[in-house]
Amino acid sequence: MMKFGTLTEEDPDDVDSIRNTYYLNIFIVLLVFIFMVLTLIRAIS
């Protein structure tokens, strides 16, 4: 997936930075999903 800055480039085997990047990706996907749902609701009504 996308890398944000140098989160995982310092130490690729670091479990914490891999987990942080994983949760960051999930958070961004959820934000985009919520934005799309709100836009769809506005388009319907």
Question: What torsion, rounded to 10 degrees, do the Cα atoms 32, 35, 39, 45 define?
Answer: 140
Q: Kindly report, residue by residue over 3-36, the tens digit of the pLDDT.
A: 555 555 555 567 788 888 899 999 999 999 999 9
Q: What is the distance between the terminal CA atoms of the chain, rounded to a whole angstrom?
A: 35
Residue 9, in any domain of the structure: no
Number of domains in the chain: 1
CA distance 25 to 14: 17
In a domain, 1, yes or no: no
d(CA 21, CA 26): 9
pLDDT of residue 19: 84
Q: Give me the count of residues in the chain.
A: 45
Give pLDDT, residue 23: 92
Amino acid, single-letter form, for residue 3: K
10 falls within a domain: no
Q: What is the pTM of this model?
A: 0.54
Per the domain annotation, does 4 fall within a domain? no
User: What type of residue is 37?
Assistant: V
> Range of 32's domain?
15-45
Q: Is residue 20 part of a domain?
A: yes
